Amino acid sequence: MTRTNLYLFWGFWAGIAALWLVLNPDILTASGIFALRQFVMQWSGTVAMAAMSVAMILALRPRWPERRLGGLDKMYRFHKWLGIGALGLAVFHWLWSEAPKWAVGAGLLARPARGPRPEITDPVRAYLNSWRGTAEGLGEWAFYAVVILLVIALVKLIPYRLFRYSHRLVPLVYLVLVFHAVILIEYDMWLTPLGVLMAVLMLAGSYAAVLSVFGMIGHSRRVPGEIVALNKFAGVRSLRTEIRLAPGWQGHKAGQFAFVTSNPLEGAHPYTIASAWVPSDPKITFVTKELGDHTTGLADRLKIGQKVTVEGPYGCFTFDDGLPRQIWVGAGIGITPFLARLKELADADPNAPRPQIDLFHSTSEVDDEALERIATDARAANVRLHLLINARDGRLGGERIREAVPDWREASLWFCGPSGFGKSLSADFALQGLDVGSRFHQELFEMR
């Protein structure tokens, strides 16, 4: 995460937790494990549901948070870590529910004596209380389900197809947990600012969950299209797909990406857009590399004339920083967003102000036709290209970039490629004094 997103992430957890503690100071004087257990379960359950609700809202791909968090790739990273945090709190919540009962069964704790319960005269409280047993039972089973589903989502060795279908069940489990929370959150809490906040979050989260169940996420940003050209680059195991879009596409900026559905059974997959937007010729191009279970064999499954659906655009990797100097680093298939920007610059007014740009493209695989296309586009855009083939030229690093671009301190650095390479490059430039928080831009492009 970026520094700003880290502050937002930890600020969210601290804010919700602190607000609950302010409203429940009696936790500090709780007497006995069972009295403390009730407080801890209320605290952990409330914070976990707040996190799950925000994660569910972000799954809708809303525009405003996307811009605030630095792009859909960063927003999904935020969504992922909210899910991880909620999972950890859910386990903590469940342990506090079950461990004291295990201790009583083992003779380590005595069950607390219970006197007669006061009569409930408030009809709303009485109605909610009548569902308590059902909410507890459903909540326990929902907990087991969410643990399994989130583990599937987090373990990348599990095929994407299984992840996709299993993740569609998460909104249903979330709705069960909303019922669990509405019934079991202390009744008086609903009349506090935290109660109002939780009600808003769970209502919005439930709306997002329903849209997700019916496959409506991103529906307003979908446009039908038809594949009009396919070009294979065998040397780099890549495929260039050109799609003609139907009316409705609002245009895109170089560096953005879109979700494409070519097979409804497989669903939508994200691809970086490799073409500039020309309204008079509404086409969009993607370059994909055989890297996983979906992209492997994609060239054999796609056909000219095939109908597809394109959803987007998304992302903020759009080169809009206003600096007079830029350094681009595209490693392997990470060259794709720069291809779109090269096309955009080539078609732009030559007298319009533009930054001086050095493009570094490092690759371990070679396809002469693909490399010649990149070189041609770079010349047309007046961008200085540095092509490095790993076996011939060695690996690209920060020192090599600084030698080639002496005025690198005045530049911003835009990186797309393997995340490990991006982290090492960012750390290297940070050691040299570059303000990576504002000048190092990296496309994370991990939707899982």
Render pLDDT for 331-360 as a digit per residue (tens, 0 to 9): 988 999 999 999 999 988 888 888 999 999
Q: Are 288 and 408 contained in the same domain?
A: no
* Gap between the terminal Cα atoms of the chain: 15
Last residue of a domain, one of 213, 234, 256: 213
Task: Summarize pLDDT for 269-321 with one digit per residue, the tens.
Answer: 888 999 999 999 999 999 888 766 666 777 788 999 999 999 999 988 999 88
Does residue 116 form part of some domain?
no
Please check whether residue 257 is in contact with residue 333, taking contact to mean a CB–CB distance below 8 angstroms.
no
Task: Summarize pLDDT for 123-148 with one digit per residue, the tens.
Answer: 898 999 899 999 999 999 999 999 99
Residue 447, pLDDT score:
58
* Mean pLDDT of all residues in 231-237: 83
Q: Are 276 and 353 contained in the same domain?
A: no
Percent of the residues in the chain that have a pLDDT greater than 70, as a whole number: 97
Radius of gyration of the chain (CA): 26
Task: Give the 3-state secondary structure percentages of the chain, helix then strand then coil, rounded to 5.
Answer: 55, 15, 30
Does residue 13 form part of some domain?
yes
- 3-state SS, one letter per residue, for 79-144: HHHHHHHHHHHHHHHHHHHHHHHHHHHCCCCCCCCCCCCCCCCCHHHHHHHHCHHHHHHHHHHHHH
7: pLDDT strictly greater than 70: yes
Q: Are 155 and 63 contained in the same domain?
A: yes
Task: Report the range of poorest mean pLDDT among 55-59, 292-296, 391-395, 398-402.
Answer: 292-296
Average pLDDT score over the chain: 90
Which helix (H) or strand (E) is 398 found in, with range?
helix 398-404
Indicate which CATH number applies to the domain containing 404. Answer: 3.40.50.80
Please check whether residue 162 is in contact with residue 448, taking contact to mean a CB–CB distance below 8 angstroms.
no
Strand 238-245 versus strand 283-289 pairing type: antiparallel
Q: State how many domains the chain has.
A: 3
* Mean pLDDT of all residues in 69-97: 91
Residue 402, pLDDT score:
96
Does residue 428 form part of some domain?
yes
Indicate which CATH number applies to the domain containing 178. Answer: 1.20.120
* Mean pLDDT of all residues in 146-162: 81
Q: How many CB atoms lie within 10 A of CB 331?
A: 22
Residue 85, pLDDT score:
94
Residue 139, pLDDT score:
94
Does residue 209 form part of some domain?
yes
Last residue of a domain, one of 213, 247, 267: 213
In the structure, what pLDDT confidence band is assigned to residue 164 with cuts at 50, 70 and 90? confident
Amino acid at 266: E
Does residue 320 form part of some domain?
no
- Give the number of residues written for the chain: 448
Q: Are 231 and 283 contained in the same domain?
A: yes
Q: Are 202 and 230 contained in the same domain?
A: no
Does residue 262 form part of some domain?
yes
Q: How many CB atoms lie within 10 A of CB 132?
A: 11
CA distance 408 to 150: 42
Residue 267, pLDDT score:
80
Residue 237, pLDDT score:
82
Q: Are 147 and 285 contained in the same domain?
A: no
197: pLDDT strictly greater than 90: yes
Q: Are 138 and 256 contained in the same domain?
A: no
Q: Are 269 and 379 contained in the same domain?
A: no
Does residue 448 form part of some domain?
no
Nearest CA to 24 among 180, 200, 184, 192? 192
More confident call, 21 vs 119: 21
CA distance 257 to 271: 6
Please check whether residue 52 is in contact with residue 86, taking contact to mean a CB–CB distance below 8 angstroms.
yes
Q: Are 362 and 400 contained in the same domain?
A: yes
Amino acid at 258: A
Percent of the residues in the chain that have a pLDDT greater than 90, as a whole number: 64
* Mean pLDDT of all residues in 258-264: 90
- Who contacts 44 (Cβ-Cβ below 8 Å, separation ≥6)? 89, 90, 92, 93, 96
- Its domain, for residue 343, covers 325-443
* Mean pLDDT of all residues in 58-83: 89
Q: Does the pTM exceed 0.75?
A: yes
In sequence order, the β-bridge partners of residue 327 are 358, 413
Last residue of a domain, one of 268, 293, 314: 314
Residue 222, pLDDT score:
95
Question: Quick check: helix, strand or coil at residue 445?
Answer: coil
Q: Are 208 and 225 contained in the same domain?
A: no
Residue 293, pLDDT score:
63
In sequence order, the β-bridge partners of residue 222 are 311
CA distance 65 to 425: 27
Does residue 340 form part of some domain?
yes
Q: Are 196 and 278 contained in the same domain?
A: no
Q: Are 92 and 186 contained in the same domain?
A: yes
Indicate which CATH number applies to the domain containing 291. Answer: 2.40.30.10
